[in-house]
Structure 1
Amino acid sequence: METVVELTHRFLDTGGIRMHVTEQGQGYPVVFCHGFPHTSFVWHRQLAAVAAAGFRGIAPDLRGYGRTDAPADVAAYTNEAVIGDLLALLDDIGAEKAVFVGLDFGAQLVWELSLRAPERVDAVVVLNNPFSPRPPRAPSEFWTKAAQRHFLHLAYFQEPGVADAELAARPREFLARVYYSLSGDYHYLDTWKNPPGLGYLDVLPQAPELPWPWLSEAEFDTLATKFERTGFTGGLNWYRNLDRNWALTEAFAGAQVPVPTYFLYGENDPDMEGFSGRDPLAVLRANVPDLRAVVKVADAGHLVQLERTDAVDEFLTAALRDLGVGARVAP
């Protein structure tokens, strides 16, 4: 009879915030970092997969999300600050190193973690958001020009209180529409056909009724309930730190990723198409010397771990086997 590994929840003090962590399994730690507008729950299928493979899956609600504290100060949401939370998590479980998995903002986070603290990272597994070198100018210089021509969420999210109020007023509708628009079932860059000056719900497509082939009503309800309670300001504050993150990474200009890396992306992911340059895979290969695998998942979009769970689980567990970390003594 197959043993069912329980999912557990707990809190830890990172030295600055109280962070909620979801865990499943025992053994070597694999830490999952989500993006916007997600919580740790978007990794629940992968937690089960790594637990079944003999690892300890750990998915925190990153600061500003879910049951983790959401500081009032916008400047508290830098990658540097959140990396401090992740290192505190490793210290809390007594782990010298871990494998870190990231998507969306979580991908940017683990890329920067590999530069700031490579001694704590055995490898990174990144979905959809490839590494690229620090640009010569602040990110806002790029998006401000684009936002003069068409709607662009990067610009719309910058003014405190504006997007916060719009999205919090209709959280379930927003989540359904943004998850659908970012999936392989829609072409997200069609939102760019809209003029500047609109709200996000003005440009997002209507979503089909749930359940979807890749997302159940119960799963959606779990995500939506969290945002009905918290609103979206914590997550939006990550966008409001993009320039600050750039300023704080001056020392890493030209740096290459120094750890083993595994990269998977959805064929229809909008970040790969519209936000990662003209040839993101060439840039990735040029700046990640120990790039061990690159896999494209057909017909998948941004939430590839939900849209094509089997492919992501297989990729992830294969990467862990390739690293050989399962054979190490676990905390």
Structure 2
Amino acid sequence: METTHRFVATNGIRLHVAEQGQGYPVIFCHGFPHGSHIWDRQLAAVAAAGYRAVAPDLRGYGRTEAPGGVEHTTNEAVIGDLLGLLDDIGAPKAVFVGLDFGAQLVWELTLRAPERVDAVFVLNNPYAPRPPKAPSEFWTRAAERHFLHLAYFQTPGVADAELAARPREFLTRVYYSLSGDYHYLDTWKNPPGLGYLDVLPEAPELPWPWLSVEEFDTLATEFERTGFTGGLDWYRALDRNWELTADLPTTVEVPAYFLYGENDPDMEGFSGRDPLATLRAHVPDLRAVTMVPGAGHLVQLERTDAVNAFLLDHLRELDAHLTRT
């Protein structure tokens, strides 16, 4: 089954989407530094099972327009893009799948527009309610003690230039460091004041057991063309996202399924002391929690069969209850 590519006019931008299959829509939302291609293996599996699998390049990435700046890169803005995508395909509702920033996005989507969501499947980034302080208040203190990418990414132009100068080296190093083959939090052993490439480990030569040369070339070529500013703006919008969620509900009411890698750094270092307890307390219709042994952050690449089975098994459970046109 071939992947088709097209553009959707939505929310004032042109959104590039990759699609496979026909039927009920399942929409995949990527993180940083990724793009729609990060979901190619899942698109094929979900489409073959009889669904319409859709992966957009989210705002600021790939072939989607990048208006730029914090106000144009908030979750609220990108959710507007996704709702326009649903309207374009004539779908009253969809299932949404998210990883990394895409996970934060679909969690917030369930709070802003639950009427458009039949269920969410989230990888590695558990839901937690809005914290009492802006995110920068936490990472600024931590970055005084050790290198922290969240703080390093905040100054426009600095990380943008470093990463754009050596895009393939950066991507291999960061993908490897986030995988289950490395302990990402070892980057915290470095002092503040360094660049990201100063703290990331050397990566083994490709191919890796879970990433081919061809797949990496597809991902890297996009960033060689676009640079990284569109993705870095998502980090710069974190405080603004916090401001914009003050009046939203704190409980996710739609059905939710959660999968995480045993060695995922977000679960270990960025999601609180007991992320699963927090998740269960604030997602009352949490229907599955699955741990994938040995996997890290890029779990859909590292353990493709496990992730595809997770998606398809639970989509089949949901099937009779999905909202179709």
**TM-score, reference length from structure 1:** 0.97
AA aligned opposite 2:101: F
Whether 1:54 and 2:50 are equivalent positions in the alignment is yes
**1:321 matched to which residue of 2?**
316
In the alignment, is the contact (CA less than 8 A) between 2:35 and 2:58 conserved in 1? yes
In the TM superposition, what whole-angstrom CA distance separates every residue of 1:30-79 from its partner, at most 9, and x where no partner exists? 00000000000000000001011100000000000000001133320000
Whether 1:69 and 2:65 are equivalent positions in the alignment is yes
Q: Give the drift of 1:325.
A: 5.0
Q: Give the drift of 1:9.
A: 0.3
In the TM superposition, what whole-angstrom CA distance separates every residue of 1:132-169 from its partner, at most 9, and x where no partner exists? 01000000000000000000000000000000000000
Whether 1:16 and 2:5 are equivalent positions in the alignment is no
In the alignment, is the contact (CA less than 8 A) between 2:68 and 2:233 conserved in 1? no
**1:267 matched to which residue of 2?**
262
In the alignment, is the contact (CA less than 8 A) between 2:25 and 2:53 conserved in 1? yes
Quote the Cα distance in structure 2 between the aligned partners of 1:15 and 1:135.
29
Q: Give the drift of 1:6.
A: 1.6
Cα distance change on mapping 1:247 and 1:222 into 2, 3 Å? same
Q: Give the drift of 1:15.
A: 2.7
Structure 2: tracts of 5 or more residues without a match: none
Quote the Cα distance in structure 2 between the aligned partners of 1:227 and 1:136.
35
Which of 252, 259, 262 in structure 2 is aligned with 1:257?
252
**2:152 matched to which residue of 1?**
156
Quote the Cα distance in structure 1 between the aligned partners of 2:117 and 2:208.
36
Structure 1: tracts of 5 or more residues without a match: none
Which of 270, 282, 287 in structure 1 is aligned with 2:282?
287
Quote the Cα distance in structure 1 between the aligned partners of 2:320 and 2:104.
23
**1:310 matched to which residue of 2?**
305
**1:246 matched to which residue of 2?**
242
Q: Percent identity?
A: 80
Quote the Cα distance in structure 1 between the aligned partners of 2:198 and 2:71.
29
Quote the Cα distance in structure 1 between the aligned partners of 2:97 and 2:274.
23
Cα distance change on mapping 1:287 and 1:327 into 2, 3 Å? closer
Quote the Cα distance in structure 1 between the aligned partners of 2:253 and 2:75.
18
AA aligned opposite 2:281: A
In the alignment, is the contact (CA less than 8 A) between 2:187 and 2:199 conserved in 1? yes
Q: Secondary structure at the match of 1:134?
A: coil
Aligned residue pair count:
325
Quote the Cα distance in structure 2 between the aligned partners of 1:325 and 1:262.
17
Q: Secondary structure at the match of 2:97?
A: strand
Q: Which moved more, 1:87-96 or 1:318-327?
A: 318-327
Quote the Cα distance in structure 2 between the aligned partners of 1:306 and 1:207.
16
Quote the Cα distance in structure 2 between the aligned partners of 1:287 and 1:72.
33
RMSD: 1.0
